[in-house]
């Protein structure tokens, strides 16, 4: 008798890897000196985001940009298996001081986001969903055993550290846990959207998409 097979059918492709790239001290000091949005009165417990939403155009961090592009290409070619082109549409930096976190959100107007952890000594990336696949299908409140798994859970904790890269589909809601380190946590993010030719003439779906850079 053959053993049972459990297949993660139609899964969401979350990409997580440890890179060989860690910012040198001088480069990290330049990152720390960029301009930041002033937090509002209700934002004292959340991450602060860079004033620039075109970070790689406004600041010279070419080596990091190349690392992000390398992993983006692997994700598109080897994980998604797509021939389509994807263009960086936004790039930014976020920093999270001790005691702060980042609330649940998704990334509108992008297919996926690449996140590089420039410095991370504390805190997880948490992927969330309102319902798991069977709750969403039947709209029922099922009762579960104490231990959740990848099929019945509604969240996933991604343990991240300095030098990691995570690629998240834009529609996936995510958040961070609190930074308990005395050092601020820094990430560099980049959004990507499809560009160039898409679809097929025989299916009457062919079109050209142009991204204004």
pLDDT band per the 50, 70, 90 thresholds, residue 6: confident
Higher pLDDT, 211 or 52: 52
pLDDT in tens, 95-151: 999 999 999 999 999 999 999 999 999 999 999 998 988 888 888 999 988 778 888
pLDDT of residue 1: 57
User: How far is the C-alpha of 149 from the C-alpha of 135, rounded, in Å?
Assistant: 14
* Confidence check: pLDDT of 18 > 90: yes
pLDDT of residue 147: 77
Q: What percent of the chain has pLDDT over 70?
A: 96
pLDDT of residue 145: 83
What is the 3-state composition of the chain as percent helix, strand, coil, each rounded to the nearest 5?
A: 15, 35, 50
User: How far is the C-alpha of 81 from the C-alpha of 78, rounded, in Å?
Assistant: 5
Average pLDDT of 178-189? Answer: 96
* Confidence check: pLDDT of 212 > 90: no
Nearest Cα to 101, choosing from 27, 30, 18, 185?
185
User: How far is the C-alpha of 187 from the C-alpha of 158, rounded, in Å?
Assistant: 15
Burial environment of residue 195 by CB neighbours within 10 A (0 to 12, 13 to 18, 19 or more): middle
What integer best gives the mean pLDDT of the chain?
92
- CATH for the stretch 15-129+160-209: 2.60.120.620
pLDDT in tens, 23-44: 999 999 999 899 998 766 666 7
User: How far is the C-alpha of 60 from the C-alpha of 63, rounded, in Å?
Assistant: 9
pLDDT of residue 40: 67
Average pLDDT of 56-73? Answer: 97
Q: What percent of the chain has pLDDT over 90?
A: 76
Is pTM beyond 0.85? Reply is yes
pLDDT band per the 50, 70, 90 thresholds, residue 77: very high
């Amino acid at each position: 008798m053959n053993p049972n097979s459990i297949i993660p059918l139609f899964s969401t492709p979350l990409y997580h890897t440890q890179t060989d790239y860690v910012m040198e001290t001088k480069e990290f000091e330049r990152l720390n000196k960029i301009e930041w949005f002033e937090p509002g009165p209700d934002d004292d417990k959340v991450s602060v985001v860079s004033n620039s939403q075109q970070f790689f155009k406004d600041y010279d961090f070419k080596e990091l940009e190349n690392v992000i592009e390398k992993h983006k290409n692997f994700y598109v070619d080897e994980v998604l298996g797509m021939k389509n082109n994807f263009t960086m549409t936004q790039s930014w930096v976020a920093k999270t001081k001790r005691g702060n976190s980042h609330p649940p959100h998704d990334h509108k107007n992008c297919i996926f986001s690449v996140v590089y952890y420039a410095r991370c000594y504390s805190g997880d990336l948490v992927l969330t969903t309102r319902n798991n696949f069977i709750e969403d299908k039947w709209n029922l409140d099922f009762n579960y055993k104490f231990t959740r798994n990848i099929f019945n859970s509604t969240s996933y904790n991604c343990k991240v550290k300095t030098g990691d890269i995570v690629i998240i589909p834009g529609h996936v809601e995510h958040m961070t846990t609190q930074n308990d380190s005395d050092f601020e946590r820094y990430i560099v993010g980049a959004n990507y959207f499809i560009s160039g030719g898409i679809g097929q003439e025989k299916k009457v779906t062919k079109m050209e998409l142009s991204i204004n850079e």
